[in-house]
Chain A
Amino acid sequence: MTSAVEQLAMRPLGERPGRGYWVLVAAMAALVVLGLVAWIIQLREGLGVTGLSSSVPWGVYIVNFIFFVGISYAGTLLSAVLRLVHAGWRRPITRIAEVVTVSSLVIAAVMIPADLGRPVIAPWQMLISGRGESPLVWDMVVLTTYLVAAFIFLVIPMIPDMARCRDTHPTGTGPRYRLYSWMAASWNGHARQWQRLERAMGILAITIIPVAILAHSAVAWIFGVTPRPVWNSTIFAPYFVVGAVFSGTAVIVVIMAAYRRVFHLHVFFTERHFVRLGYILLTLNLVYMYFTFSEYWTIGYTVQADYQAPLASILSGAHAWAFWFAIILGMLVPAALVALPWTRTVGGITTASVLVVTGMWLKRWIIVVPPLETGMTPGSLASYAPTWVEGAITLAGGAALVLIFLGFQRLFPVISIWEVEYGDEEDHVPAANVRNGEVPA
């Protein structure tokens, strides 16, 4: 017997997608191909094709890296934290969140070779001569761990759903069937398997939180441990972590809104989900604003010579537009949209989230670029503007994320079916009964 949840969640798997879907796939694929072409040009010509210079040696690739590691927090927060606090409403969202985590981490990882002068020898060099003293080695170790953990955290709860895909497969042959069978890992819905799954998820949820926090702290310390004014900040690690969860939550809202609209998943992504995520977004927004204020207020209040130029560049100079966009449109306006009852709607919260995602990309620009442009000596003053190569690789990163989601929903249920069903029953019958073989399988 198939439940209503199953029917709805598995519908996109059997459906032939419409024209709009293929147009979107083609557009995103074109952007990814353009990015690859740009990268090939960069590999052939060298990083001279970027807008970077010896004065501003880091640019949008590093901005993208922080941004994508940041949105990877979506999965960690929603899935792990909400799982641990037994927030039942999380259930329809967990899978999307976990896919965001894995895919954005992969895209973040691609930004590293895109930025390196010698990407070909880098992996080997890092393996044979990596030095524990270097923040980049901390990053490599922690992010690799995070990626592996996030991947496990995605595929383990997919097992029961994969078994269902396997069992309901119309023909029982073909590559798709074999994939489902393989991912279902001989799942038969026995009570002992359910117990083990629950235990595994509990352990993973607890483990992945510190790993994720360390991951973004390590990203923050790339900047924090340098003697560069503005970067050398003690609050960078928590500041980055909060910013990461903030932008990750916003990305989830955007994806939910898109799925809801395109695949008519209103049943799962109800207004209640948007409002709850909206409250989380508002809370994180306020904490992030507090960090931002604290950071620039303490820097700006003193008159330390080497802080003056970067601060002026951020607050009133060349990059003021990005900073004030991030502050006004990326923080204040989204806060108002969620706080005011008459804009606390699906549309309002989605708009707020789009603004937050944009603002947070710009905020990372503000962190990376101005303190480099103003230099640490008078000999190193230069302005930086990315070239089309950097632009193409950046867009390809975003397009790749969309493409992954377009592909994922064709192949796998975007809703964690068993978790949603389990949640429905949990509301009516004691959990013990659910575990006692009565679980939907």
Chain B
Amino acid sequence: MTDPATPPQPASAPVSQTSVGSTELARFLGVDYSERDLQPDHGTFDADGLHPATVLNRRAFFRGLAVALAAAGVAKLGGSAVAQAMTDAEAAVADGTAEQLATAERWVMVIDLAKCNGCKQCMTACKTGHSLPEDDQHWIDVWEEQGPYGTFFRPRPCMQCDNSPCTTVCPVGATYTNDAGIILVDNNKCIGCRMCMVACPYDARYFWWNEPETPAHLTEDDYSPELTMPARRGTVGKCVFCADYLQQSRLPRCVQQCPQNAMWFGEKTTDVVTNGDDVRRLTELLETGGATRYKEEKGTEPKVFYLPHGREV
């Protein structure tokens, strides 16, 4: 796997670019962002029953993110940390563990409960970004909980469980885990039985009870499970870690919009997370923060970590 002890490599030259067009970006990334990659897939499945779609390329994401961060001038340090992570990843590729890396792509989220003040801007960003109604479809929800040190706010996206009860109980395989570990719903296949909803220990799934409004800029043909839009009545909707944004090397909408920088997003194998302002090693952040996962006892192996409230931050 990655070796954090590898000496830092110079990685600043491209990061110093100030203005990056999409073509240059693609060339720089060395990734062939062909039209096909950007086009959502329409409900075909490969032999394993998995959605081939749009497997998210971790390296591309972080390269793109590094550029984006540097271009925005938010974190020079952050940019180089990402570059460092990329170097580590490339070293692993050279070691012959590339295959392992390619299959071990695991997006993670870390939410700092000590920083969250319950402003619910993540909810707003999510609802606006995914064209969700006000009174339902809280793909990320924020509520107040009673903890050992008083009350705190808990933002709850989908936990993207490694051991997900929702995908297990789905009678038709409409909800599934994609290659990047994100749990999606293919609303072409969903029959609306709602078994996944009653099985989710986090109540993270929502049903389109009424006819959803199609966002003005989209047509039915634009639909992909990653984009989640346009929604379809009689099917289930949920948080997908903004899989559509990840394809564009952008952070999920809620992470981007958090004014407290309380939400971190990153990848487990590369061991990097960012809150859009700062970049950290995932393991270090979890360890120093004393991270936990919600309802660990359910055995669902969530990919969302919580840093406890009541810490000095």
Say yes or no for B28: interface residue by CB 8 A criterion.
no
Q: Would A226 and B199 be within 8 Å (CB), given that A57-B207, A122-B191, A130-B172 are in contact?
A: yes
Residue in chain B with minimal CB distance to A140? B171
CA distance A118 to B189 in the complex (A): 10
CA distance A122 to B191 in the complex (A): 5
> Which of A53, A119, A228 is in CB contact (< 8 Å) with B198?
A228
Of the four ranges (under 10, 10 to 19, 20 to 34, 35 or more), the interface on chain A belongs to: 35 or more
Residues of A close to B90: CB separation below 8 A: none
Q: Are A55 and B234 in contact (CB under 8 A)?
A: no
Say yes or no for A15: interface residue by CB 8 A criterion.
no
CB distance from B95 to the nearest CB of A (A): 36
Q: Which of B133-141, B253-261, B272-280 lies at the interface?
A: B133-141
CA distance A45 to B209 in the complex (A): 9
Of A119, A377, A378, which is in contact with the most chain B CB atoms at under 10 Å from its CB?
A377
CB distance from A62 to the nearest CB of B (A): 9
CA distance A130 to B141 in the complex (A): 32
Within 8 A of A (CB), among B264-311: 298, 300
Q: Are A129 and B195 in contact (CB under 8 A)?
A: no
Within 8 A of B (CB), among A63-109: none
Q: Would A54 and B206 be within 8 Å (CB), given that A117-B235, A130-B172, A133-B168 are in contact?
A: yes
- State how many residues of chain B have any CB contact under 8 Å with chain A: 44
Q: Are A131 and B172 in contact (CB under 8 A)?
A: yes
Q: Are A136 and B193 in contact (CB under 8 A)?
A: yes
Of A117, A226, A380, which is in contact with the most chain B CB atoms at under 10 Å from its CB?
A117
Say yes or no for A379: interface residue by CB 8 A criterion.
yes
Within 8 A of B (CB), among A122-136: 122, 125-126, 129-131, 133-136
Within 8 A of A (CB), among B185-239: 189-195, 197-203, 205-211, 233-236
Residues of A close to B168: CB separation below 8 A: 133-134
Closest CB pairs A-B (n = 10): A117-B192, A117-B234, A380-B203, A48-B210, A48-B209, A136-B171, A122-B191, A57-B194, A134-B171, A379-B141
B residues whose Cβ falls under 8 Å from a Cβ of A: 136-138, 141, 143-145, 154, 156, 165, 168-174, 189-195, 197-203, 205-211, 233-236, 298, 300
- 17 further A-B pairs in the complex, CB-CB below 8 A; given A52-B209, A134-B168: A50-B209, A54-B197, A54-B205, A115-B193, A116-B193, A117-B207, A118-B192, A119-B191, A121-B191, A129-B172, A134-B195, A226-B199, A227-B300, A375-B203, A376-B201, A378-B143, A379-B156
**9 sample A-B contacts, Cβ–Cβ < 8 Å, listed by A number:** A58-B198, A116-B191, A117-B192, A117-B194, A117-B233, A134-B170, A134-B172, A376-B201, A379-B156
